[in-house]
């Protein structure tokens, strides 16, 4: 790791072939806005072989970029006192169990009730600034409706180390999902590329020209033939990956009105949101290297739906070797 945490060496990942620099960096640093990535490029802060890289410069796997991140402005956000379920906190990290319905960071149409606002209050403003003014501490995200384990960086050194770990997939992420219809198989691997939907830009889709994506899934419990509790292990981190992959194999997540298309079949079922929960996150501490393993039980709405399904359709637990 560089002594100056503002200057980074980034190697373009395998599978990239002559793709625009702004797209490569936006995908590599999802915690940064697209406009901030473009400003960094426009300022000549990204170099390849000593030459400045422009937005449209084609990059390929193995290209080693030197990136000089500018000092971001201090956040102008107002800390807000909100309840937080803190799983872990030290000088470098804070890990929480996110409630469903809470937005991670400010954006269009949000108020002062995001997780970032609450964490600024909790930490006395001590969150990493490297992610930008509106995203202090943010190294990964969960959708608004998704609950579960989420970590934030309190220092820039931790921030850059965590970004590298997420890029290199040096961590374990497991999710629980309540899905429509019980799968015939008890486990499987989904290797289908994902990219923005060709006509609906707010959705993602399985596409041949998409980015590689892999989700391993395991049935934990069957509720008759009508639903199941599934554990998913992510090997990549594409937007909406689990939702898209499970829908692709015919088992959309219950409550997912974007990818499910089966709302009417569930009339009378308690489906307040997308029933997806980040149950486990394990990794090496970004500074000390100490192994960390964080787990969180699903929230009441998730547990209530599972109980409802057991009562209506029965239950069969699946034991894995």
Residues designated catalytic: 143
Structural element, H or E, at residue 10: strand 7-11
Strands 171-180 and 187-191: unpaired
Centre a 10 Å sphere on the Cβ of residue 142 and count the other Cβ atoms it contains: 20
Of 130, 120, 110, 122, give the one whose Cα is nearest residue 32. 130
> Under a CB-based contact definition with an 8 Å cutoff, are residues 298 and 280 in contact?
no
Fill in the DSSP letter of residue 253.
B
Centre a 10 Å sphere on the Cβ of residue 38 and count the other Cβ atoms it contains: 16
DSSP 97-162: EEPTT--SS--TT--S-SHHHHHHHHHTT----TT-TT-TTBSS---TT-EEEEEEESSHHHHHHH
Q: Name residue 294's beta-bridge partners.
A: 281
The dihedral through the CA atoms of 265, 313, 279, 215 has a sign that is: negative
247 three-class SS: helix
> Under a CB-based contact definition with an 8 Å cutoff, are residues 271 and 305 in contact?
yes
């Amino acid at each position: 790791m560089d002594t100056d945490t503002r200057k980074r060496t980034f190697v373009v990942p395998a599978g990239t072939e002559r793709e625009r620099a702004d797209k490569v960096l936006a995908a590599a640093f999802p915690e940064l806005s697209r406009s901030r990535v473009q400003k960094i490029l426009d300022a000549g802060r990204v170099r390849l072989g000593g030459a400045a890289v422009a937005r449209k410069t084609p990059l390929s796997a193995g290209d080693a970029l030197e990136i000089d991140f500018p000092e971001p402005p201090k956040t102008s956000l107002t800390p807000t006192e909100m309840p937080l379920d803190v799983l872990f906190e030290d000088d470098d990290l804070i890990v929480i169990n996110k409630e469903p319905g809470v937005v991670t960071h400010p954006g269009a149409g949000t108020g002062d009730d995001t997780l970032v606002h609450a964490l600024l209050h909790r930490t006395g403003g001590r969150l990493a600034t490297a992610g930008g003014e509106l995203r202090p501490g943010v190294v990964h995200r969960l959708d608004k409706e998704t609950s579960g384990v989420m970590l934030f960086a309190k220092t820039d050194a931790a921030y850059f180390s965590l970004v590298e770990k997420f890029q290199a997939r040096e961590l374990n992420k497991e999710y629980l999902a309540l899905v429509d219809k019980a799968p015939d198989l008890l486990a499987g691997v989904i290797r289908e590329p994902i990219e923005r939907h060709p006509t609906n830009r707010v959705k993602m889709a399985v596409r041949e020209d998409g980015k590689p994506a892999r989700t391993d899934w395991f049935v934990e419990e069957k509720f008759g033939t009508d639903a199941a509790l599934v554990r998913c292990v992510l090997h990549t981190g594409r937007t909406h990956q689990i939702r898209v992959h499970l829908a692709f194999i015919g088992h959309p997540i219950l409550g997912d009105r974007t990818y499910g298309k089966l709302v009417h079949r569930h009339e009378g079922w308690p489906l307040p949101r997308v029933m997806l929960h980040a149950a486990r996150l394990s990794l090496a501490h970004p500074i000390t290297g100490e192994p960390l393993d964080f787990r969180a039980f699903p929230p009441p709405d998730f547990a209530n739906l599972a109980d409802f399904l057991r009562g209506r359709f029965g239950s069969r637990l699946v034991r894995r070797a």
